[in-house]
Structure 1
């Protein structure tokens, strides 16, 4: 009898409102986005890696039909073309710091979009810590509104884990969720990776997902 084949089928990441779990870690940032009254038409979403900046920014982009570009591409960008819709999301906007061409492009984008349009930027740190070398750009972005996300709290991580298991049609013991939350890295990305590893190992070894299997996966992820 042949062994069971385990297919690693990644769950599709979506950025719908119903897939965004509101908790004290992100409620203030979500409210700032929804309010729409950003100072000068610009808002900076800040927070550590894994806090959900990308999900929140892309949720807003999807609901408003706004283009999204990474900050690392601004050096080759055409500001006029990017500003055509009157709205833009720049993920990891702090990547422009120290790159003259990229800083100039962001400066022109700012002037084309603000204050009449909307410019949403994500970064791990406030503008003052980016290390911008173009004084006029630093001055303009420092006047932007700021919304800060914290690392996911227990409630948010629990909700994310439940959703990720459900997306894979995997049933786990109810006690496993708080057990995982107490031991895993506190980020959305870590939750996604953990669920994928648990699902793959369970399929490959024909074992149900339990605390024992989860402990093995967590140990492997820490070592790797």
Structure 2
């Protein structure tokens, strides 16, 4: 038995690996910022290639879109460095989702790509940057990553950011007026994390959510030391 196979690793069935997902029932909003990624994943695997990379900035919805894909196909969900815990041969012929793909070690990533390219399976890689920008040491892995088909998801546009804000408010049983949503969309960074932070700040103020209160929350985020001087 080769040295690299001497270690018996847990099978995919034995593992219970976490996959980050939003609240059940929360709709994924399609817009210009993600329409191409939605279209590609809806029809993939499609015979064009067995490995696909979905990349985009933090908070763009790529993990959510990938999780929907994994659920639809019954894919095995892996998260970054956890790929090393699975014997790749246990995944042969199965669709696999690897979120935070650059966090996987070179050997695990190399084996996963080879298995997907061998036929019968599929590997969806999720990351902030395209595979050609990942830092790897194995030359063979470098060449495989450079050849991976990619699709990009952009930062949330107004439509998506509005939906994110409404969802975060709904989680806290807050129903702001529509002009509050519009006010925040025009002023927030294009990030789901930023949207969640401002909603948390507004909820903590324990007052009806108006544009004036929204401005106060934004001021606090911009200058926490002067928050009491509004």
TM-score, with length taken from structure 1: 0.81
Aligned length: 202
Q: Which residue in the other structure is 2:95 paired with?
A: 87
Structure 1 position 38, deviation (Å): 5.7
2:176 matches 1:169 = no
Residues 143/154 of structure 1: CA separation in 2 closer, same or farther (3 Å cut): same
Measured in 2, the distance between the counterparts of 1:137 and 1:161 equals 40
CA contact (8 A) 1:88 1:118 kept: yes
- Please name the residue that 1:6 is paired with: none
Unaligned runs of 5+ in 1: 1-11, 97-101
Alignment partners' CA distance in 2, 1:38 and 1:223: 52
Which residue, 56, 60, 78 being the options, matches 1:47?
56
Deviations 1:70-118 (A, max 9, x none): 213334443233x15701111111223xxxxx11111112222333211
- Structure 1's 175 and 26: CA in aligned 2 closer, same or farther, altered over 3 A? same
Whole-angstrom distance in 2 between the partners of 1:65 and 1:193? 33
Q: Any gaps of 5 or more consecutive residues in structure 2? A: 1-20, 225-230
Kindly report the root-mean-square deviation, in angstroms, between the aligned alpha carbons of the 2 structures. 2.1
Q: Which deviates more from structure 2 when the two are superposed, residues 54-63 or residues 19-28?
A: 54-63
Match of 1:24 in 2: 32
Matched, 1:196 2:200: yes
Q: In the alignment, which residue of structure 1 is the partner of 2:185?
A: 181
- Moved runs in structure 1, 4+ residues, more than 6 A? none
Find the counterpart in structure 1 of residue 111 from structure 2: 108
